[in-house]
Amino acid sequence: MDRGPIQAETYYCPMHRDIRRPGPGKCPKCGMDLLPEGTRFGMLRHMVKSPVAIAVMIAILAVVMAMLIMK
């Protein structure tokens, strides 16, 4: 069964949507891993891989919650 030409997957940077490449690699602007086009929740998946990013998210959430409570 011939399905036609195989299309190359396009990869993009979750932080810089203008960065697109025909294959995997790193973003030239921020160094993040490029994700396959159509990846849902790509930014969240990337951040969960990094303990530092998780700590930053928790700290920001704590500050926002404290500010809301103080109002």
Residue 4 pLDDT: 44
Model confidence band, residue 63 (pLDDT cutoffs 50, 70, 90): very high
Model confidence band, residue 42 (pLDDT cutoffs 50, 70, 90): low
Rounded Cα gap, residues 6 and 43, in angstroms? 27
Residue 65 pLDDT: 96
